[in-house]
Amino acid sequence: MSNPNPARVVADADVLAADLLVGGPAREALDHIRRHSWVELVATDELLDDAEATISRLADTELAADWREHIEALRVRVEQPDHDHPALASAYHGGAAHILSFDEGLRSAKAGAAMQKRVKTSVKHPDAFAKLFDPQSLYEVVVGGAYPGPDRDPRA
């Protein structure tokens, strides 16, 4: 088991859909990723399929298709073995240090203990990630040098 990349983040399908449809903590958390080219969103096709289906069900298929096209350009694609949980597979195969999820079961101590046996990642509520994200110190660790500030528009 290798050490995960602290600049790689997985957003579970519920967070991806909430980012688009609701805003709030999901959007705040994902805006950190969108603002910094050196912070990566990692996702399997199956994870994006789940989010797209949720967006289609709650909004419409055209919005979901537009979202999918946009998110494809942002994400780092990783493969998912059959029957794996999409967010966990994304973190494991993508070397992500963080999973953002609203799923209380996934964020539980029991789930965390079980995950640590296979993957060194932590599951956080998007609000916790948004509040704790420190781009300056993360930049020093991941890239090195002085933090130049955000280098992308999160709404582009």
Task: Give the pLDDT score at 144.
Answer: 93
Condensed to tens digits (0 to 9), the pLDDT of residues 15-45 reads 999 999 999 999 999 999 999 999 999 999 9
Judge contact between 52 and 15, C-beta under 8 A: no
pLDDT digits (tens, 9 = 90+) for 99-155: 999 987 766 566 655 566 666 778 899 999 999 999 999 999 999 999 999 999 898
Q: Under CATH, which number does the domain 5-142 receive? A: 3.40.50.1010
Q: Where are the beta strands (DSSP E) in the chain?
A: 5-11, 40-43, 75-77, 96-100, 122-124
Residue type, 33: I
